[in-house]
Structure 1
């Protein structure tokens, strides 16, 4: 099975929410009851422009055009805000992964590789958000049940796809948790390297990201395919 299939173009919603300028619009005045969304959008702007160190409830309130006290109606402290932004990130990443699964022809292995490409592209398009999602700024996800839930759901989706591949013979037999960890580590590692601009000579454009993602999943595919000479 070919592993060089390119992921179909993202739907307009994903392009708008995950592109290089995602969250770039300066939040406008909000309607009553929309305070949380205004604060989220302001936080995404600051995260993109100033990084994690530039985030504070006071600065976010200023960008949103609300009082400092208003922010505390939704966030008890900065960590609660970071957890909320991480949830947004996981929801957007999950949306990309689900789109890759739904729009990829072929079996579970092809679908798995498509989700790997999507993961890498997300990291390149949303570098600060991906770094926040997996930073130690929130040491205990269990303190924020919704965050723990969305993170676990992404892991379960990966394991489900690999299990399907094992059942139909496209992915080699082996411990599901170990194979899932290996697959995730490969694409996550590349995504984080791109997000942190740690690859010498890397070009900051979509073509380079797509090429790097393709090379990564091709290597992953070789490791996941059944080896006829390997004992069952």
Structure 2
């Protein structure tokens, strides 16, 4: 494979992009810092000017992924306004779209074993992404009688878990797994069943 190289002064980002490529190709534990350096077109020693180790490099890839993810979720949320239902459903679909478009970032964020609390910057941007979905859940849950209303954090976590499950099982070519329906349809109908159970949409919708 040809070396990717880097622009002067942007070695740090070149290494992140090299890591993203290797993460997609080999998984988060399937490459070394030396391979990342080679892919970026620099010596292994150059890596340590910016990252203490592979985990730090992957954590930066995850942080950048969460930045993109939070922006995607925010855009989806705003695109559904002023309907609280449309905004909420859009955030679920955005999760699936992000996983497809940014597989390296997705793996770094959710499959690398890197804690979102590894750095304050990573924790902050991960929280920003969660806040978008929780805000959408809060607005939608206002239509539920208070005595039947789940906490917004639980509400959003349910849909996050559903979205994540569809991605992991059926949208990322898991070995031996084949969806009987398109992932988008699975997620949309799953969210529909959940929202009907809360009385937020009519049974015939």
TM bucket normalised to smaller: 0.7 to 0.9
Q: Which 5+ residue runs of structure 2 have no aligned equivalent?
A: none
Q: Does 1:154 align with 2:98?
A: no
* Alignment RMSD: 2.8
The alignment partner of 2:186 has SS state of helix
Describe the shift of the 1:176–1:102 C-alpha distance in structure 2 as closer, same or farther (beyond 3 A).
Answer: closer
Q: Does 1:49 align with 2:34?
A: no
Q: Quote the Cα distance in structure 1 between the aligned partners of 2:176 and 2:76.
A: 25
Q: Does 1:212 align with 2:186?
A: yes
Q: Quote the Cα distance in structure 1 between the aligned partners of 2:184 and 2:201.
A: 28
Aligned partner of 2:98 among 122, 126, 145: 122
TM-score with structure 2 length normalisation? 0.82
Q: CA deviation at 1:132?
A: 3.0
Describe the shift of the 1:200–1:28 C-alpha distance in structure 2 as closer, same or farther (beyond 3 A).
Answer: closer
Q: Does 1:201 align with 2:178?
A: yes
Stretch deviating more after TM superposition (123-132 or 104-113): 123-132
Q: Quote the Cα distance in structure 1 between the aligned partners of 2:102 and 2:176.
A: 16
Aligned residues: 199
Task: State the match for 1:101 in structure 2.
Answer: 77
The alignment partner of 1:52 has SS state of coil
Q: CA deviation at 1:60?
A: 0.6
The alignment partner of 1:54 has SS state of coil
Q: For 1:116-148, what per-residue CA distance to the aligned partner results, in whole angstroms no more than 9, with x for missing partners?
A: 01102222444454233123632x432311111
Please say if residues 131 and 195 of structure 1, whose CA atoms lie closer than 8 Å, have aligned partners that are also in contact: no
TM-score with structure 1 length normalisation? 0.74
Q: CA deviation at 1:46?
A: 0.9
Q: For 1:138-196, what per-residue CA distance to the aligned partner results, in whole angstroms no more than 9, with x for missing partners?
A: 2x4323111111111111111111112233x2696222222222222111221222325
Q: Quote the Cα distance in structure 2 between the aligned partners of 1:122 and 1:65.
A: 28
Task: State the match for 2:139 in structure 1.
Answer: 164
The alignment partner of 1:201 has SS state of coil
Please say if residues 29 and 112 of structure 2, whose CA atoms lie closer than 8 Å, have aligned partners that are also in contact: no
Task: State the match for 1:37 in structure 2.
Answer: 13
